[in-house]
């Protein structure tokens, strides 16, 4: 009986390692390898895929997304960069097609003023409000009670 | 100035109102930078006539529709019936951009049987196997539809399926006015 059990465990181990191998092979298939002729180009490419948003997933950049569109946009970026396009040229290309939304960092312009200045403005307003309130409290004299009121308080506290 | 105690309430109401509105906004509806801009050029092989090509240039001088679709796209199926009705009733010249469909390298059977089953309202079906024309048109979610005027300017874009309501409320009035514009 013991040999039967050990046979099963060996079989189990084989199946397990088989699946691990298959899975790692499948994984290897999806890894993209890009070669660049200069380290600057590689840096530009890596920076761009971090900066560009995947429009399907919306909360991922195209570096981190495995969506088909992200793959296509990575391919597009790679092709442009390896042909010598600068970072700004690729960004322009993407923005004319997908709009500012494709950028994780919104550009600074009239439409995005509120986006850039909203949070510090809110902070400023609330700070002013807070300071005012605190000052008011410290300068305000204690409530004056007349004799009658004082007596009634004393009675209540008895 | 006595009513400053109302201020937090007012701020809260404004915020609540904005957030409430935000609940019903479609995050897929990213404004297209193409509205009012010339339609990007393309020159693609046709699905049924492999040796022929179709380009944006060929469509100039008329109000036309570009519909991005694929046989793997589930919501395209629902949209297709609606769009087919619209295209046929109003005789709209339409280009179906078959986006990254399975096996389109050899003009695969998936899209042909899909159109065979659901009907083919398109004047031309253009094959974009690698999705490069899609990128040029800023496509990120199939289906997408563009309305292009006689001068070749994109005037409207739908992201996601076009509903019957959108046909009646947006598409029909739009093409009626665009058709009156000079070429």
Q: What is the pLDDT of residues B39-63, one digit of tens each?
A: 999 999 998 888 899 999 999 999 9
Helices (H), chain A: 2-30, 39-51, 68-82, 87-98, 113-139, 147-157
d(C-alpha B59, C-alpha B153), whole Å: 11
What pLDDT does A28 receive?
45
Chain A residue at shortest CA distance from B7: A129
Could you tell me which CATH number the domain at A34-107 has? 1.10.8.640
Kindly report, residue by residue over B123-161, the tens digit of the pLDDT. Answer: 999 998 888 999 999 998 889 999 999 999 999 999 889
Residues of chain A with C-beta less than 8 angstroms from the C-beta of B15: none
- pTM comes to 0.73
d(C-alpha B46, C-alpha B66), whole Å: 14
B17: DSSP letter? H
C-alpha B107: how far from its chain's center? 23
What pLDDT does B124 receive?
94
- Of B169, B130, B143, the closest CA to residue B67 belongs to B143
- Comparing A2 with B93, the larger pLDDT belongs to B93
| Touching A: B residues 8-47, CB under 8 Å | 27, 30-34, 40
Specify the CATH superfamily of domain B33-180. Answer: Glutaredoxin (3.40.30.10)
Instruction: Determine the Cα angle at B57 with ends B51 and B59, to 5°.
Output: 90
Give CA separation, A73 vs B66, B69, B136, in Å: 22, 19, 11
Contact assignment for A101 to B32 by CB distance below 8 Å: no
Residues of chain A with C-beta less than 8 angstroms from the C-beta of B134: 72
Chain B residue at shortest CA distance from A56: B140
Domain ranges of chain B: 33-180
Least CB–CB distance from A99: residue in B30, B134, B137: B30
Structural contact between residues A67 and A108, judged by C-beta atoms closer than 8 angstroms: no
Residues 6+ apart with CB under 8 A from B53: B43, B44, B45, B46
Prediction ipTM score: 0.77
| Touching B: A residues 39-58, CB under 8 Å | 55-56, 58
Contact assignment for B33 to A99 by CB distance below 8 Å: yes
Q: Reduced to 3 states, what is the DSSP secondary structure of residue B148?
A: strand
DSSP calls for B70-136: -TT-HHHHHHHHHHHHHHHHTT--EEEEEES-TTGGGT-HHHHHHHHHH----SEEEEESSSHHHHH
Q: Which of B135, B144, B146 to mutate to test the interface with A (most CBs of A within 10 A)?
A: B135
A59 interfaces chain B, CB cutoff of 8 Å:
no
Mean pLDDT of A110-137: 89
């Amino acid at each position: 009986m013991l040999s039967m059990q050990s046979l099963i465990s060996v079989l189990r181990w084989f199946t397990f390692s088989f699946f691990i191998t298959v899975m790692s092979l499948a994984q290897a298939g999806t890894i993209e390898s890009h070669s660049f002729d200069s380290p600057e180009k590689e840096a530009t490419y890596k920076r761009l895929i971090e900066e560009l948003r995947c429009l399907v997933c919306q909360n991922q950049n195209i570096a981190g997304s495995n969506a088909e569109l992200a793959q296509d946009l990575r391919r597009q970026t790679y092709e442009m960069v390896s042909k010598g396009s600068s970072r700004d040229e690729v960004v322009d290309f993407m923005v004319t097609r997908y709009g500012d939304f494709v950028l994780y960092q919104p550009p600074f312009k009239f439409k995005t003023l509120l986006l850039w200045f909203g949070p510090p403005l809110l902070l400023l307003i609330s700070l002013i409000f807070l300071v005012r309130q605190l000052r008011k409290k410290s300068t305000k004299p204690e409530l004056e009670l007349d004799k009658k009121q004082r007596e009634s308080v004393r009675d209540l506290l008895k | 100035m006595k009513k400053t105690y109302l201020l937090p309430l007012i701020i809260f109401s404004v915020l609540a109102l904005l957030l409430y509105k935000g609940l019903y906004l479609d995050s897929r509806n990213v404004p297209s930078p193409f509205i009012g801009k010339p339609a990007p050029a393309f020159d693609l092989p046709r699905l049924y006539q492999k040796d022929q090509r179709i380009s944006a240039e060929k469509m100039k001088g008329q109000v036309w529709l570009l519909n991005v679709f694929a046989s793997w796209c589930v919501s395209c199926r629902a949209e297709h019936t609606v769009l087919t009705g619209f295209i046929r009733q109003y005789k709209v010249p339409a280009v179906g951009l078959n986006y990254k469909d399975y096996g389109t390298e050899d003009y695969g059977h998936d899209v042909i049987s899909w159109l065979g089953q659901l009907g083919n309202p398109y004047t031309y079906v253009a094959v974009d196997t690698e999705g490069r024309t899609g990128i040029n048109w800023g496509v990120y979610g199939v289906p997408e539809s563009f309305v292009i005027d006689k001068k070749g300017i994109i005037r409207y874009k739908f992201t996601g399926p076009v509903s019957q309501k959108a046909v009646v409320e947006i598409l029909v009035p739009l093409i009626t006015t665009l058709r009156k514009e000079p070429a």
